[in-house]
């Protein structure tokens, strides 16, 4: 008999309504359970988490503020098996902390008690956690040999062109070859050879330097002063948590990067410590004995995350990366080594990363108004970089360590905060979320803030809540298609895929005609299911009251925004128009984009990954109830969230301190997440 005709893939769930409930809301027919929350013990012998601020030993517990995450499968015997869907290792980034809930009476003022600083430091970094499906639900396996914490104190190898460079010399590593730890790890992804790749995002905030440090470094025009200012570290600016005040030990003193030592090369103090942060970080999820690497070839900036273009045999690999800060850039790394599919064999893992990620070229994106774009290589061979008046680059490693300055020199396009990137598993198109930009302004004329451009077209006062949230308040998603030769291309075409907005707002604001079932603001995480091709879009705090709780949407990219290329004549606040490349001929509909999840109180929806069978979706609920003052810690009635204690997970019940956590979502009928049909990848 002839094979039955394939049933086209279609979204198959009821959209979740916006709500402010302090729980995770998923569609009818789906169940969400907690897998691993802040403080859960990872090592054998670590006591259960009391969640009252008295717990210690966070280097053996799950960290805080779960962010980017990837699944690494195991077989039934616990051996690496990329297709494994019932047992695996979750790699989880712990971007930041809600400090008050880590201590019994909230975080103490400065000078910080050493015991508090130790807990806070250890609650950052990465977790590798074995999880298994048992009785139909996934649970974290305390004591597994795969469990591992990487904290801001774990020794890490500096790899690639800047390894051993004078800019990386510190008292900890006078040779400039190593550093301690990783911090503010935001998004995550998997390499084609099966390791984990995490970004280091807002690392600048954790450091401080004295009010007279500019002079100690040689004054306004000294290279290191120019670099520190460009990366946002003005002299005298306070550190985020004041760890440098916790004691004389180097593990505290290192957070103060002011010049102190006598050595001219900085090898006897921590003046260069911040140059060892801001990289893409590669770790081996299956082998905790392997040193973590910082891949300096991929540049230094506020790395949200990096995602690989579709690998092709015999071709270089490409990694797409956003620098998440207002007006920063989109970058691409292209490997010198050409992809050998035999390297997908998990035998060598992180040493395979040494082959692909330590040599290559770094590019920055420049968008043109006609829907074309160029990748500009950041190289000293470019006269604009070699002759840049703002900073004197010593060599190519200096270009990588100060990639933002090199990108300034070549006039790259300032974007509305590039967050995650995702690559469509069939077309190879690159989708980049641009979350919002309060500095994107049309007027007044002469303002130092950024004027709109076709790739970042929206600004105050177009939006209804402009008074409280100026700039591009809702964000958008831009899409790039490489020209001709895949990831190594030097040119691309682009259009805007989707504009965030509140349903019912003016047509000039709600450009994608979103409805109550799919409106959103501040897109952040984005991922394509490798099983079905469905795109998942996660949001950070939105600009509108009824979209405040962060959410997850599911869409069908093959049917969404793929109409004929058009020019949208966007009307600016002054009445003039701006031509914006789009494919608005196919705006999202109820059939192609729906809200799939709404988070608990005062949270952000962050990391997302899936089992290879497409039947379990893991999502991170970041910082529920993070808005808390020290004096309010004693009064649970003042918490903005009690999740997941109020959902029956862990100690504390309905009055619990809130905890960041990973959840697993499955369909009660065991089906694919979000869709029905046969047209799977
Ligand atoms: Fe960590 Fe840009 O979000
Ligand atoms: Ca983010
Ligand atoms: Ca964000
Ligand atoms: Ca956050």
ipTM value of the model? 0.95
186 lines ligand 1 (CB under 6 A): yes
Q: Is 288 left (phi over 0), alpha (psi -120 to 50) or beta?
A: alpha
Residue 202 Cα to ligand 1 midpoint, Å, equals 8
pLDDT at 584 over 70: no
pLDDT at 328 over 50: yes
- Domain residues for the domain of 389 are 39-129+145-624+660-676
pLDDT band, residue 640 (cuts 50/70/90): very high
DSSP state, residue 419: E
Provide the whole-model pTM: 0.96
pLDDT at 557 over 80: no
Which residue did the predictor score with more confidence, 225 or 265? 225
18 within some domain: no
- Residue 618 near residue 662, CB atoms below 8 Å: yes
508 within some domain: yes
What mean pLDDT comes out for the span 409-419? 98
pLDDT at 569 over 80: no
20 within some domain: no
Q: Which long-range contacts (CB under 8 A, 24 or more apart) does 39-43 make?
A: 39/650, 39/659, 40/140, 40/142, 40/650, 41/142, 42/127, 42/129, 42/140, 42/142, 42/144, 42/147, 42/148, 42/149, 43/142, 43/143, 43/147
Q: What is the pLDDT of residue 545?
A: 44
Q: What is the pLDDT of residue 467?
A: 44
Q: What tens digit of pLDDT does each residue of 274-298 get?
A: 999 999 999 999 999 999 999 999 9
597 lines ligand 1 (CB under 6 A): no
Q: What tens digit of pLDDT does each residue of 259-272 get?
A: 998 898 899 999 99
Q: What tens digit of pLDDT does each residue of 421-434 get?
A: 999 988 899 999 99
Q: What is the pLDDT of residue 573?
A: 64
What mean pLDDT comes out for the span 122-126? 98
135 within some domain: no
- Residue 280 near residue 306, CB atoms below 8 Å: yes
pLDDT at 464 over 50: no
Q: How far apart are the first and last CA of the chain?
A: 24
Q: What is the pLDDT of residue 619?
A: 97
Closest listed ligand to the CA of 202: 1
**Maximum Cα–Cα distance for the chain, whole Å?**
84
> Which numbered atom of ligand 1 lies nearest the CA of 202?
1
95 lines ligand 1 (CB under 6 A): yes
pLDDT at 460 over 80: no
> Tokens standing for 511?
């450009």
347 within some domain: yes
Q: Is 584 left (phi over 0), alpha (psi -120 to 50) or beta?
A: alpha
> Which numbered atom of ligand 1 lies nearest the CA of 201?
1
Q: What is the pLDDT of residue 466?
A: 41
> Which numbered atom of ligand 1 lies nearest the CA of 419?
2
Instruction: Give the whole-number percent of the chain exceeding pLDDT 90.
Output: 77
Residue 171 Cα to ligand 2 midpoint, Å, equals 32
pLDDT band, residue 582 (cuts 50/70/90): confident
Letter string b/e over residues 247-257, b meaning 16 or more CB atoms within 10 A of that residue's CB: beeebbbbbbb
CA-nearest of 302, 338, 525, 296 to 432 is 525
> Tokens standing for 423?
């690559």
- What is the CATH number for 337? 2.120.10.30
- CA 70 – CA 85 distance, rounded (Å): 13
304 lines ligand 1 (CB under 6 A): yes
610 lines ligand 1 (CB under 6 A): no
Which residue did the predictor score with more confidence, 529 or 583? 529
Average pLDDT over all residues of the chain: 92
> Which numbered atom of ligand 1 lies nearest the CA of 304?
2
Least reliable range by pLDDT among 43-47, 382-386, 406-410, 478-482: 478-482
273 lines ligand 1 (CB under 6 A): no
- CA 199 – CA 182 distance, rounded (Å): 9
419 within some domain: yes
Q: What is the pLDDT of residue 4?
A: 79
- Among protein residues, the one with the nearest Cα to ligand 1's atom 1 is 186
- CA 178 – CA 276 distance, rounded (Å): 8
Q: What is the pLDDT of residue 560?
A: 52
681 within some domain: no
59 lines ligand 1 (CB under 6 A): no
What mean pLDDT comes out for the span 604-628? 96
- CA 557 – CA 108 distance, rounded (Å): 48
| Number of domains the chain contains | 1
pLDDT at 159 over 70: yes
DSSP state, residue 251: H
Q: Which long-range contacts (CB under 8 A, 24 or more apart) does 210-218 make?
A: 210/235, 210/236, 210/256, 210/258, 211/235, 211/236, 213/257, 213/258, 213/259, 216/258, 216/259, 217/259, 217/271
302 lines ligand 1 (CB under 6 A): no
Q: What is the pLDDT of residue 662?
A: 98
What mean pLDDT comes out for the span 570-576? 70
pLDDT band, residue 5 (cuts 50/70/90): confident
Q: What is the pLDDT of residue 510?
A: 84
pLDDT band, residue 553 (cuts 50/70/90): confident
Least reliable range by pLDDT among 93-107, 307-321, 550-564, 635-649: 550-564
3-state helix, strand, coil in the chain (%, to 5): 15, 30, 55
Closest listed ligand to the CA of 623: 4
- Residue 499 near residue 433, CB atoms below 8 Å: no
324 lines ligand 1 (CB under 6 A): yes
526 within some domain: yes
- CA 529 – CA 155 distance, rounded (Å): 34
- Residue 296 near residue 306, CB atoms below 8 Å: no
Residue 304 Cα to ligand 2 midpoint, Å, equals 6
Q: CB count, 10 Å around CB of 105?
A: 11
Q: What is the pLDDT of residue 452?
A: 84
200 lines ligand 1 (CB under 6 A): no
What mean pLDDT comes out for the span 6-29? 92
């Amino acid at each position: 008999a002839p094979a039955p005709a394939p049933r086209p893939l279609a979204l198959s769930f009821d959209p979740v309504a916006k709500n402010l409930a302090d729980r995770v809301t998923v569609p009818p027919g789906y169940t969400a359970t907690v897998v691993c929350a802040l403080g859960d013990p990872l090592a054998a012998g670590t006591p259960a988490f009391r969640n009252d601020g008295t717990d210690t030993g966070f280097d053996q517990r799950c960290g805080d503020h779960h962010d980017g995450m990837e699944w690494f499968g195991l077989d039934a015997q616990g051996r690496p098996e990329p297709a494994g869907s019932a047992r695996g290792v979750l790699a989880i980034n712990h971007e930041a902390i809600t400090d008050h809930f880590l201590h019994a009476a909230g975080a103490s003022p400065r000078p910080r008690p050493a015991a508090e600083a130790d807990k806070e430091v250890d609650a950052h970094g990465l977790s590798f956690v074995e999880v298994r499906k048992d009785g139909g639900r996934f649970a974290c396996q305390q004591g597994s040999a795969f469990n591992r914490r990487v904290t801001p104190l774990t020794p890490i190898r500096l790899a690639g062109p800047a390894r051993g460079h004078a800019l990386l010399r510190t008292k900890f590593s006078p040779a400039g070859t190593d550093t301690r730890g990783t911090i503010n790890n935001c998004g995550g992804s998997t390499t084609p050879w099966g390791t984990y790749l995490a970004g280091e995002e807002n690392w600048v905030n954790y450091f401080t330097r004295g009010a007279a440090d500019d002079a100690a470094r040689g004054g306004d025009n000294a290279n290191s002063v120019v670099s520190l200012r460009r990366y946002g570290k003005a002299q005298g600016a306070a550190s985020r948590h004041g760890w440098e005040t916790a004691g004389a030990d180097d593990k505290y003193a290192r957070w103060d990067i002011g010049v102190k030592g006598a050595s001219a090369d900085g090898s006897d103090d921590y003046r260069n410590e911040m140059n060892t942060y801001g990289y893409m970080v590669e770790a081996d999820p299956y082998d905790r004995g392997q040193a973590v690497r910082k891949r300096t070839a991929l540049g230094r900036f506020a790395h949200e995350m990096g995602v690989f273009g579709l690998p092709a045999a015999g071709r270089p690999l490409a990694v797409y990366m956003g620098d998440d800060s207002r007006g920063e850039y989109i970058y691409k790394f292209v490997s010198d080594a050409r992809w050998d599919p035999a390297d997908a064999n998990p035998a060598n893992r992180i040493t395979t990363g040494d082959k692909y990620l330590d040599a290559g070229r770094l590019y920055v994106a420049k968008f043109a108004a006609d829907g074309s774009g160029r990748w500009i290589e950041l190289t000293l061979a470019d006269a604009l970089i070699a002759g840049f008046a703002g900073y004197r680059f010593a060599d190519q490693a200096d270009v990588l360590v100060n990639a933002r300055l090199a990108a300034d020199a070549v006039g790259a396009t300032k974007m509305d905060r590039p967050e995650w990137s995702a690559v469509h598993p069939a077309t190879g198109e690159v989708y980049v979320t641009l979350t919002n930009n309060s500095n994107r302004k049309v007027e007044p004329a002469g303002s130092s803030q950024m004027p709109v451009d076709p790739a970042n077209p929206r600004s105050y006062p177009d939006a209804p809540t402009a008074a409280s949230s100026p700039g591009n308040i809702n964000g958008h998603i831009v899409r790039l298609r490489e020209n001709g030769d895949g990831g190594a291309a030097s040119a691309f075409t682009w259009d805007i895929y989707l504009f965030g907005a509140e349903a019912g707002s003016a047509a000039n604001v709600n450009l994608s005609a979103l409805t109550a079932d799919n409106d959103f603001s501040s897109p952040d995480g984005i991922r394509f299911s490798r099983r079905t091709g469905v795109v998942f879009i996660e949001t950070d705090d939105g600009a509108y009251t009824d979209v405040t709780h962060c959410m997850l949407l599911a869409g069908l990219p093959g049917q969404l925004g793929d109409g004929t290329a058009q020019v949208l004549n966007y009307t600016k606040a002054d009445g003039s128009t701006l031509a914006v490349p789009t494919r608005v001929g196919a705006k999202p509909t109820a059939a192609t984009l729906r809200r799939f999840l709404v988070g608990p109180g005062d949270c952000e929806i962050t990391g997302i990954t899936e089992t290879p069978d497409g039947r379990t979706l893991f999502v991170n609920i970041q910082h529920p109830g993070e808005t808390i003052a020290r004096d309010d810690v004693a009064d649970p009635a003042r918490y903005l969230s009690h999740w997941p204690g109020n959902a029956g997970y862990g100690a504390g019940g309905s009055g619990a301190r809130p905890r960041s956590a990973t959840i697993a979502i499955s369909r009660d009928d065991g089906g694919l997440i979000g869709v029905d049909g046969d047209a799977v990848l």
